Amino acid sequence: MKTFQGRVVTPGTAKAEAVVTRNGFNTLASLQKPLQFGDKTAKCGDQNNPDLFGKPMAGKALCLPQTIGSTTGGLVLYCACAMERQPACMLFSNHIDSLAAAGAILADVWLDNISMPVVDCLGDEFLNYVKDGMTVTIKENGVVVVE
Protein backbone atom coordinates (compact mmCIF):
# COMPACT_ATOMS: atom_id res chain seq x y z
CA MET A 1 0.00 0.00 0.00
CA LYS A 2 1.26 3.45 -0.90
CA THR A 3 -0.14 6.97 -0.43
CA PHE A 4 0.19 9.91 -2.80
CA GLN A 5 -0.81 13.56 -2.37
CA GLY A 6 -2.27 15.39 -5.34
CA ARG A 7 -4.24 18.53 -6.07
CA VAL A 8 -8.05 18.33 -6.06
CA VAL A 9 -9.56 19.48 -9.36
CA THR A 10 -13.10 18.26 -8.67
CA PRO A 11 -13.97 17.16 -5.14
CA GLY A 12 -15.28 13.88 -3.89
CA THR A 13 -14.29 10.46 -2.67
CA ALA A 14 -14.10 7.20 -4.56
CA LYS A 15 -12.88 3.65 -4.24
CA ALA A 16 -12.41 1.74 -7.49
CA GLU A 17 -10.30 -0.70 -9.45
CA ALA A 18 -7.48 0.94 -11.39
CA VAL A 19 -7.11 1.00 -15.16
CA VAL A 20 -3.79 2.51 -16.12
CA THR A 21 -2.27 4.10 -19.17
CA ARG A 22 1.19 5.51 -19.43
CA ASN A 23 0.27 7.10 -22.76
CA GLY A 24 -1.76 10.22 -23.32
CA PHE A 25 -5.51 9.58 -23.06
CA ASN A 26 -7.40 10.65 -26.18
CA THR A 27 -10.83 11.38 -24.75
CA LEU A 28 -12.69 11.48 -28.07
CA ALA A 29 -11.08 8.34 -29.53
CA SER A 30 -11.53 6.46 -26.24
CA LEU A 31 -15.14 7.36 -25.47
CA GLN A 32 -16.85 8.12 -28.81
CA LYS A 33 -18.05 4.57 -29.56
CA PRO A 34 -19.31 3.75 -26.05
CA LEU A 35 -21.26 7.01 -25.92
CA GLN A 36 -22.59 6.71 -29.46
CA PHE A 37 -23.53 3.03 -29.40
CA GLY A 38 -24.69 2.50 -25.82
CA ASP A 39 -21.79 0.55 -24.29
CA LYS A 40 -22.50 1.07 -20.59
CA THR A 41 -19.09 -0.33 -19.60
CA ALA A 42 -17.39 2.33 -21.78
CA LYS A 43 -14.78 0.03 -23.33
CA CYS A 44 -11.91 2.13 -24.63
CA GLY A 45 -12.11 2.52 -28.40
CA ASP A 46 -8.71 4.13 -28.94
CA GLN A 47 -6.67 1.61 -30.95
CA ASN A 48 -3.61 3.83 -30.50
CA ASN A 49 -3.65 3.29 -26.74
CA PRO A 50 -2.55 -0.32 -26.18
CA ASP A 51 -2.75 0.11 -22.40
CA LEU A 52 -6.52 0.74 -22.47
CA PHE A 53 -7.91 -0.43 -25.82
CA GLY A 54 -10.91 -2.70 -25.27
CA LYS A 55 -10.88 -2.32 -21.48
CA PRO A 56 -13.97 -1.05 -19.61
CA MET A 57 -13.49 2.41 -18.08
CA ALA A 58 -16.90 3.15 -16.55
CA GLY A 59 -16.68 2.97 -12.78
CA LYS A 60 -12.90 2.47 -12.82
CA ALA A 61 -10.12 4.63 -11.39
CA LEU A 62 -8.58 5.97 -14.61
CA CYS A 63 -4.88 6.60 -13.96
CA LEU A 64 -3.09 8.60 -16.65
CA PRO A 65 -0.36 11.14 -17.31
CA GLN A 66 -2.51 13.60 -19.31
CA THR A 67 -5.19 13.80 -21.97
CA ILE A 68 -4.39 14.41 -25.64
CA GLY A 69 -6.26 14.99 -28.85
CA SER A 70 -9.22 16.98 -30.01
CA THR A 71 -10.63 20.16 -28.55
CA THR A 72 -13.87 18.21 -28.08
CA GLY A 73 -12.26 16.33 -25.17
CA GLY A 74 -13.94 18.35 -22.44
CA LEU A 75 -17.37 18.00 -23.98
CA VAL A 76 -16.90 14.25 -24.46
CA LEU A 77 -15.91 13.88 -20.82
CA TYR A 78 -18.93 15.93 -19.72
CA CYS A 79 -21.21 13.77 -21.93
CA ALA A 80 -19.76 10.57 -20.45
CA CYS A 81 -20.73 11.89 -17.01
CA ALA A 82 -24.19 12.96 -18.19
CA MET A 83 -24.75 9.46 -19.63
CA GLU A 84 -23.33 7.84 -16.45
CA ARG A 85 -20.50 6.12 -18.32
CA GLN A 86 -17.65 8.04 -16.69
CA PRO A 87 -14.70 6.63 -14.81
CA ALA A 88 -15.20 6.54 -11.03
CA CYS A 89 -12.36 9.06 -10.88
CA MET A 90 -9.51 10.43 -12.96
CA LEU A 91 -6.01 10.52 -11.49
CA PHE A 92 -3.39 12.50 -13.38
CA SER A 93 0.32 12.12 -12.72
CA ASN A 94 0.87 15.51 -14.45
CA HIS A 95 -1.08 18.76 -14.35
CA ILE A 96 -4.53 18.36 -15.87
CA ASP A 97 -5.01 20.14 -19.20
CA SER A 98 -7.61 22.88 -19.60
CA LEU A 99 -9.97 20.79 -21.77
CA ALA A 100 -10.19 17.83 -19.41
CA ALA A 101 -10.51 20.22 -16.47
CA ALA A 102 -13.38 22.05 -18.21
CA GLY A 103 -15.29 18.81 -18.83
CA ALA A 104 -14.80 17.52 -15.30
CA ILE A 105 -15.65 20.84 -13.65
CA LEU A 106 -18.76 21.41 -15.79
CA ALA A 107 -19.99 17.90 -14.98
CA ASP A 108 -19.38 18.55 -11.28
CA VAL A 109 -21.26 21.87 -11.36
CA TRP A 110 -24.06 21.15 -13.82
CA LEU A 111 -24.99 17.52 -13.15
CA ASP A 112 -26.88 16.45 -10.05
CA ASN A 113 -25.96 13.17 -8.36
CA ILE A 114 -22.98 12.56 -10.66
CA SER A 115 -19.57 12.19 -9.10
CA MET A 116 -16.21 11.91 -10.80
CA PRO A 117 -13.50 13.17 -8.48
CA VAL A 118 -10.39 14.35 -10.29
CA VAL A 119 -6.93 14.71 -8.75
CA ASP A 120 -3.84 15.85 -10.62
CA CYS A 121 -0.13 16.43 -9.87
CA LEU A 122 0.29 12.95 -8.38
CA GLY A 123 3.74 12.57 -9.92
CA ASP A 124 5.63 10.01 -11.95
CA GLU A 125 6.08 7.78 -8.90
CA PHE A 126 2.29 7.35 -8.75
CA LEU A 127 2.03 6.26 -12.37
CA ASN A 128 5.00 3.91 -11.99
CA TYR A 129 3.47 2.31 -8.88
CA VAL A 130 -0.19 1.81 -9.82
CA LYS A 131 -1.14 -1.23 -11.92
CA ASP A 132 -4.36 -2.46 -13.51
CA GLY A 133 -6.59 -4.15 -10.96
CA MET A 134 -5.17 -2.44 -7.87
CA THR A 135 -7.68 -0.76 -5.56
CA VAL A 136 -7.50 3.02 -5.48
CA THR A 137 -9.14 5.14 -2.79
CA ILE A 138 -9.45 8.91 -3.08
CA LYS A 139 -10.01 11.06 -0.03
CA GLU A 140 -11.52 14.57 0.00
CA ASN A 141 -8.15 16.28 0.48
CA GLY A 142 -6.50 14.84 -2.64
CA VAL A 143 -4.86 11.91 -0.87
CA VAL A 144 -4.82 8.81 -3.08
CA VAL A 145 -4.20 5.41 -1.52
CA VAL A 146 -3.18 2.56 -3.84
CA GLU A 147 -3.32 -1.04 -2.61
Q: What is the pLDDT of residue 70?
A: 85
CATH number for the domain that contains residue 121:
3.50.30.10
Domain extent for 124: 2-146
Number of domains present in the structure of the chain: 1
pLDDT tens-digit series, residues 28-56: 999 999 999 999 999 999 999 999 999 99
Q: What is the pLDDT along the chain (147 residues), one digit of tens a residue?
A: 999 999 999 999 999 999 999 999 999 999 999 999 999 999 999 999 999 999 999 999 999 999 999 899 999 999 999 999 999 999 999 999 999 999 999 999 999 999 999 999 999 999 999 999 999 999 999 999 999
Q: State pTM to two decimals.
A: 0.97
Coil, strand, or helix at residue 139? coil
Q: Rounded CA gap, 26 and 62, in Å?
A: 13
How would DSSP label each residue in 3-72? EEE-EEEE---EEEEEEE-SS-EEHHHHHHHHHHHT-TT-B---TT-TTTTT-B-TTSEEEES-EES-TT
